[in-house]
Amino acid sequence: MPNERQFKLRTRFVATRDVREYRATVPVWVTPDDVVLEIGCEWGTTTAVLAERCKEVIATDISREVIERAREKHPGLRFEVLDAFDVPAALAFDRRFTKVYMDISGFSGYRSLLDVISLLTMYGTMLQPEAIVVKSGALKHFASLCMPWREASAQ
Ligand SMILES: C[S@@+](CC[C@H](N)C(=O)[O-])C[C@H]1O[C@@H](n2cnc3c(N)ncnc32)[C@H](O)[C@@H]1O
């Protein structure tokens, strides 16, 4: 049962279908004051796009190998190893992240939908960013079918 005193997420979730859409959100959602956590950065291609628009970006990936490659390709940017499911390790960066970008392999299929939703909820609750942009075709499709019921609105 919902009740008025329960914690309410304020984070907005932006679902994108592919990498073109994912990167196209950057000029729309990222501002010069933003501190961005990027999860699933691979070789840092999106990191470089983010870095041009925000105050600071910490880019992370579960793979040490890709992080080493990203550091070689973009020596001026910060890359760290992080498993997306280890939220305490993300908190240990000790930053007030205002935006989170999330692109993890396997997140586009419908089987991953519950994982995507649970990760978004965890990051929304623990880091409380203004927005999380996620690459997940399954979430985008699911979200397009959802609408909040409003008593007074024409449905
Ligand atoms: C499609 S690539 C990311 C591409 C990147 N966002 C870009 O724009 O170039 C997906 C990345 O997710 C990483 N990944 C997979 N599982 C992960 C996890 N549990 N936590 C963090 N990264 C993960 C992979 O190592 C891979 O580098």
Q: Which pLDDT belongs to residue 155? A: 55
Q: Is 21 in the pocket of ligand 1 (CB under 6 A)?
A: no
List, as one string, the DSSP characters of the chain: ---TTS-----EEEEESSHHHHHHTHHHH--TT-EEEEES-TTSHHHHHHHTTSSEEEEEES-HHHHHHHHHH-TTSEEEE--TT-HHHHHTT----SEEEE--TT-SSGGGHHHHHHHHHHHHHHH--SEEEEE-HHHHHHHHH-----TTS--
Percentage of the chain modeled with pLDDT above 90: 86
Mean per-residue pLDDT over the chain, rounded: 94
Which atom of ligand 1 has the smallest separation from the CA of 63?
25
CA–CA separation, 124 and 103 (whole Å): 16
105 lines ligand 1 (CB under 6 A): yes
Single pTM value for the model: 0.95
Asked whether 102 lines ligand 1 (CB < 6 A), one says no
Query: Which mutation among 66, 105, 123 tests ligand 1's pocket best, with the greatest number of atoms within 8 A of CB?
Result: 105
User: What are the tens digits of pLDDT across the range 58-89?
Assistant: 999 999 999 999 999 999 999 999 999 999 99
